[in-house]
Amino acid sequence: MNPAESPDVIVVGAGLTGSEAAWGLARAGVPTLLVTTSLDTIATLPGDGWGFAPPPQGLLATVAHEAGGPDAWSARGLHRAVKRELEREPALHVLQSTVTGLHCDGAGRVVGVATWEGVARSAPLVALCVGSFLRARLRMGRSVEVAGRLSEFADDDLYEDLVARGRRFQTRRLALPGDALQPGYEVEHQVLAAGEVASDGAVRDLPGLFAYGVCAGAAADLASSARLGVEAARWLASLVGGPSASAAKRPAPASSGPPRDA
């Protein structure tokens, strides 16, 4: 079992959803590769502090418990604690890269991802947890940045690849009010449209591909983003059959089951 070379699951995006999903999978013994654009933005919050009760038995609950409660962490402290817990898991490899598209086999099944550097990564299951980063445009005053959050670059390639494969999207906007430290800004981004993602996260017409959290059209709040990651880990672990399951023994992903917010 080598999560870097032959993962059972590739999780794309280390926001709250992807971090919880990848950590939960690794804790279940599933070799997991977590690919995220920058290691410096793992579990980034839009502002400072995270005043919500983390889902039980998840990654955030673990770090909150160690700190004496969720209010004990600043956003920077949360980033450091989450990154440490991810790096500590032997079944999990965290890779800094941007996923630019999918790889499919001759039957149309998703078998891995393309990365910006040109190195292909293979796995029987791929989970997109890319939040507000699909064709994201950040507006602050009159300036426009290609970013999913302030100064966090958002490549358009993955979105364009999904569109080329027939997936439909809808536009969403998220706004962060300004404060004494920074002016407010708005992010316009794409999420998979209604009907594109089944209740278990399976993406329509792309077997092997799942999507969770904001990019799948779920509510954009921190508590549900974390909860959906925890639930995604449980579901995906059940599909691959637990630790060190061989690809040959793996059941085909079902098209119904948990988890998803409407």
Give the binding site for ligand FAD (CB under 6 A).
12-18, 35-37, 41, 46, 98-99, 129-133, 148-149, 152, 155, 158, 174-176, 187, 213-214, 220-222, 225
| Residue 92 to residue 214: CA distance in whole angstroms | 23
Give whichever of 224 and 237 is closer to ligand FAD, judged by the CB atom: 224
Least distance (Å) from ligand FAD to the CB of residue 115?
A: 8
Q: Identify the H or E element spanning 77.
A: helix 75-88
CB closer to ligand FAD, 69 vs 243: 69
Q: Which is nearer to ligand FAD, 174 or 202 (CB)?
A: 174
Q: Which is nearer to ligand FAD, 11 or 245 (CB)?
A: 11
- Closest to ligand FAD by CB, 172 or 250: 172
- The least distance separating ligand FAD from the CB of residue 223, rounded to whole angstroms, comes to 7
Smallest gap, in angstroms, from Cβ of residue 207 to ligand FAD?
20
CB atoms inside a 10 Å sphere around CB 65: 11
Which residue lies nearer to ligand FAD by CB, 73 or 245?
Answer: 73
Gap between the Cα atoms of 48 and 42, Å rounded: 14
d(CA 15, CA 44): 6
Contact 124, 250 (CB under 8 A): yes
Residue 148, C-beta contacts closer than 8 angstroms, at least 6 positions apart:
130, 131, 132, 133, 136, 138, 154, 187, 189
Contacts of 36 (CB under 8 A, 6+ apart): 12, 13, 14, 18, 42, 94, 95, 96, 97
Q: Name the residue nearer to ligand FAD (CB basis): 12 or 236.
A: 12
Percent of the chain that is helix, strand, coil (3-state, to 5): 30, 25, 45
The least CB distance from residue 154 to ligand FAD, in Å, is 6
Please, what is the minimum distance in Å from the beta carbon of residue 169 to ligand FAD?
Answer: 14
Q: How far is the CB of 199 from ligand FAD (least distance, A)?
A: 17
Dihedral of CA 154/195/251/234: which sign? positive
> Quick one: which of 50, 57, 48, 65 has its CA closest to 16?
50
Q: How far is the CB of 166 from ligand FAD (least distance, A)?
A: 19
